[in-house]
Amino acid sequence: MGFLHRHRGLTPYLLLAPGLVYLTFFFAVPLGFLVHQSLESGNFDIGYSFTWAWGNYSAAIRGYGAQFARSFEYAGIATVLALLFSYPLAYWIAFRGGRWRNLFLLFIVAPFFVTYLIRTLAWETILADQGPVVRILRDVGILGSGGRLLATSVAVVAGLTYNFLPFMALPLYVSLEQMDGRLIEAAQDLYASRWRAFLRVTLPLSLPGVVAGTLLTFIPAAGDFINAQLLGSPGQHMIGNVIQSKFLELIDYPAAASMSFVLMATILLAVALYARAVGTEKLTG
């Protein structure tokens, strides 16, 4: 430790080194490989070689624009649904949960304790054409007599919403729970109605939770392929399904790599824009 004493400035770098070197090798470098692969051309039989094939990108966007659009559409809807569903629930737990708040919180986390694939398969059972949900929806006339949920976008969005819900509910809860109850009481005194008090005070204060929850839900949902695979049909395939099948079935690495990269870049861009929009208006205030 004498060495460290003499070179105190070095200590943080020494602490960082192992982890950062690891992440460099197994996170950053692979992304480099991915970009490199995305610029290759050829096919499985003759092999692939690096040719600066920028055409892969335009081909990816042209050929699979629908799947890209669908991914963001489904992820967006699922995120909004998760927000609308979770907010009242998180609010209830934070302000009405009392002593048992942690127990109620457990209900929100509970889905996480059932393996992701298993809980998605359970939805496949619940939403089956001959299952109870479809039967009820048919009886009340929401679905036609031949209507179904499985292999439709409804089922895929429902699956996405459920699977990533805890990512939304937990940050919301955390931001609500931290709120000073006296502040809300004061607001209720100040504003005529509870509703306005909520809009003017509670909601803005919980905005960090909304932002975090939105990102944590949107990002995994946009890249998902499990829900579309198990609950959807080719008409609902998202970009994750295409990437997965190009990589693992068709062995078309350059196309798959360029799509992965486009997906990642779009998400990072969307996140940056979103953070900016929300950040300038509310977060700094």
Question: Which positions from 235 through 254 interact with other proteins, judged by CB under 8 A?
Answer: 235, 237, 240-245, 247-251, 253
Contact string (CB under 8 A) for other proteins, positions 193-232, x = contact: --x------------xx-xx--xx--xx-xxxxx---x--
Q: Which of 215, 222, 234 is nearest to 259 (CA)?
A: 222
Q: Report how far residue 219's alpha carbon sits from residue 275's, in angstroms, rounded to the nearest whole number.
A: 13
Among 69, 103, 136, 269, binds other proteins (CB under 8 A): 103
Q: Report how far residue 221's alpha carbon sits from residue 240's, in angstroms, rounded to the nearest whole number.
A: 10
What is the full DSSP assignment across 223-284? Answer: T--HHHHHH--GGG--HHHHHHHHHHTS--HHHHHHHHHHHHHHHHHHHHHHHHHHIIIIIT
Residues 128-147 that bind other proteins (CB under 8 A): 128-131, 146
Among 61, 69, 84, 114, binds other proteins (CB under 8 A): 114
Among 77, 174, 179, 203, binds other proteins (CB under 8 A): 174
Contact status: 273 vs other proteins (CB under 8 A) = no
Residues 8-27 that bind other proteins (CB under 8 A): 9, 11-13, 15-16, 18-20, 22-23, 26-27
Name the minimum Å distance from CB 140 to other proteins.
17
Q: Report how far residue 127's alpha carbon sits from residue 280's, in angstroms, rounded to the nearest whole number.
A: 42
Q: Which of 113, 163, 110, 280 is nearest to 211 (CA)?
A: 280
Stretch that binds other proteins, among 50-58, 121-129, 135-143, 183-191 (CB under 8 A): 121-129
Read off the amino acid at residue 82: A
Among 155, 164, 171, 227, binds other proteins (CB under 8 A): 171
Element (H, E) at 43: strand 40-43
Total residues contacting other proteins by CB under 8 A comes to 117
Is 231 within 8 Å of 157 (Cβ atoms)? no
Q: Report how far residue 246's alpha carbon sits from residue 114's, in angstroms, rounded to the nearest whole number.
A: 29
Q: Report how far residue 13's alpha carbon sits from residue 75's, in angstroms, rounded to the nearest whole number.
A: 39
Name the minimum Å distance from CB 25 to other proteins.
9
Among 42, 55, 112, 191, binds other proteins (CB under 8 A): 112
Read off the amino acid at residue 55: G
Stretch that binds other proteins, among 54-62, 135-143, 179-187, 265-273 (CB under 8 A): 265-273
Q: In this structure, what DSSP letter does residue 178 have?
A: T
Residues 147-166 that bind other proteins (CB under 8 A): 148, 150-151, 162, 165
User: Given the complex with other proteins, which of 22 and 54 has the nearer CB atom?
Assistant: 22
Among 7, 29, 50, 186, binds other proteins (CB under 8 A): 29
Q: Report how far residue 99's alpha carbon sits from residue 29's, in angstroms, rounded to the nearest whole number.
A: 48
Q: Which of 265, 231, 259 is nearest to 247 (CA)?
A: 259
Contact string (CB under 8 A) for other proteins, positions 48-87, x = contact: ---------------x--x------------------x--
Name the minimum Å distance from CB 45 to other proteins.
8
